[in-house]
């Protein structure tokens, strides 16, 4: 079992002296994209592997028990029987990493997965997602409600005002209280990177979130104008690596927002392997927040085995 990150006292010296070289980040990403790629002969296996890292998500205003139940079914059986058979994957052996919903839909998701006999965790966004513009008391109460409803993972949003003001102590204190409210449920801290202005702020916010006990750090809500990009991912991975070297704790990483194609996910998996190693190709340490990605993966797997693509209307709901 992976040891949970218990957090450490806030180290403001470490946070404030951390700076990011933007040009070096761009150079490293360019090197990855031009000199590191997954051979075509192995892409099918990598795509199949990526499915277990997807947090299959619905965060819509019209979410209801029926479409949450369909989402759970897709999470439990992400590939058609013919494709699973071609991959030599037994029935029920491949699932997504989690199902992610709003707090009000957690009970529906738990019931849907229970009926399927699927051992898949339910993740819930919380703390005034996506903006976080509610009082701390209400944000903590929302976490507690989601946990009591059955959520095993809580995707919280940080207070961007505090990060932009460099008020790291207050941000740390808020996150510590959120971690306490999560209890045994894992906490994924969403940095909303598109609203943090620069890469140095993103690196510093990553450190503070990990020091406060986050089990994962996550790029975005998916609602910002800038979401998961490879340069941002690299900066957050370097923060994870630095934190691991200093504390011994391995903190997970979750990019979210804008990851829609098989090409996208292969690039992200390459980044994980190159920067953090093979452990970060597993759902214990790597998740992808996505809703449409699974459809594209299944279409590409179908093309590999049959030579043709499903039409949009032939695809199951994802």
Which domains, from first to last, does the chain contain? Answer: 12-304 (3.20.20.70)
pLDDT (0 to 100) of residue 41: 85
Question: Helices in the chain by DSSP H: which ranges?
Answer: 12-17, 22-35, 43-51, 65-76, 81-86, 106-116, 136-149, 160-164, 168-182, 199-211, 230-247, 262-276, 293-306
- Is the per-residue pLDDT at 281 higher than 80? yes
Edge-to-edge strand ranges of the sheet holding 153-157? 252-254, 216-218, 186-190, 153-157, 122-125, 98-101, 54-57, 288-290
Cβ 264 vs Cβ 227: under 8 Å? no
pLDDT (0 to 100) of residue 318: 46
DSSP symbol at 279: G
d(CA 311, CA 99): 25
Q: Is 296 exposed, middle or buried (0-12, 13-18, 19+ CB in 10 A)?
A: buried
- SS3 call for 292: coil
**CB contact set of 78 (below 8 Å; sequence gap of 6+):** 51, 54, 56, 94, 95, 96, 294, 298, 318
pLDDT (0 to 100) of residue 2: 81
Q: Whole-model pTM?
A: 0.95
**Which of 113, 8, 26 is closest to 71 using CA atoms?**
113
**What count of residues does the chain have?**
318
Which residue is catalytic, options 250, 254, 263, 273? Answer: 254
d(CA 172, CA 228): 23
Confidence of residue 316 (pLDDT cuts 50, 70, 90): low
- Annotated active-site residue 26? The verdict is no
Kindly report the backbone phi and psi dihedral angles of residue 54, in degrees, each rounded to the nearest multiple of 5, phi listed first.
Answer: -85, 130
Which residue is catalytic, options 218, 223, 250, 263? Answer: 218
Exposure string of 8-36, with b = 16+ CB inside 10 Å and e = fewer, is: eebeeebbeeeebeeeebeebbeebeeee
For the segment 32-51, what is each residue's pLDDT rounded down to a tens digit? 999 988 888 899 999 999 99
**CB contact set of 47 (below 8 Å; sequence gap of 6+):** 262, 265, 266, 297, 300, 301
For the segment 185-226, what is each residue's pLDDT rounded down to a tens digit? 999 999 999 999 999 999 999 999 999 999 999 999 988 888
């Amino acid at each position: 079992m992976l040891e949970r990150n218990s957090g450490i006292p806030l180290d403001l010296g470490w946070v404030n002296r951390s700076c990011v070289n933007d040009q070096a980040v761009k150079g490293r990403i360019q090197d990855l994209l031009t000199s590191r790629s997954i051979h075509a002969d192995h892409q099918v296996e990598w795509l199949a592997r990526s499915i277990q890292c997807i947090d299959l998500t619905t965060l819509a205003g019209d979410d209801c028990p029926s479409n949450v139940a369909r989402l759970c079914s897709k999470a439990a059986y992400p590939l058609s029987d013919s494709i699973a058979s071609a991959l030599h994957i037994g029935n029920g052996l491949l699932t997504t990493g989690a199902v992610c919903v709003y707090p009000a839909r957690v009970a529906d998701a738990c019931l849907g997965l229970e009926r399927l006999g699927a051992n898949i965790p339910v993740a819930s966004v919380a703390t005034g997602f996506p903006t976080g513009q509610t009082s701390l008391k209400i944000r903590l109460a929302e976490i507690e409600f989601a946990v009591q409803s059955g959520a095993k993972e809580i995707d919280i949003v940080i207070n961007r005002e505090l990060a932009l003001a460099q008020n790291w102590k207050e941000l740390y204190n808020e996150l510590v209280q959120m971690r306490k409210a999560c209890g045994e449920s894992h906490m994924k801290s969403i940095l909303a990177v598109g609203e943090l202005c620069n890469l140095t702020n993103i690196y510093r916010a990553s450190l503070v979130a990990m020091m406060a006990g986050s089990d994962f750090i996550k790029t975005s809500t998916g609602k910002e104008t800038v979401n998961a990009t490879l340069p941002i991912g690299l900066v957050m991975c370097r923060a994870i690596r630095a934190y691991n070297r200093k504390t011994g704790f391995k903190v997970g990483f979750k990019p979210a927002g804008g990851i829609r194609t098989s090409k996208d996910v292969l690039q992200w998996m390459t980044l994980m392997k190159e920067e953090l190693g093979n452990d970060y190709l597993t759902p214990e340490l790597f998740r992808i927040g996505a809703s449409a990605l699974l459809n594209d993966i299944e279409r590409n797997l179908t093309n590999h085995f049959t030579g043709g693509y499903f039409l949009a209307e032939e695809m199951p709901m994802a």
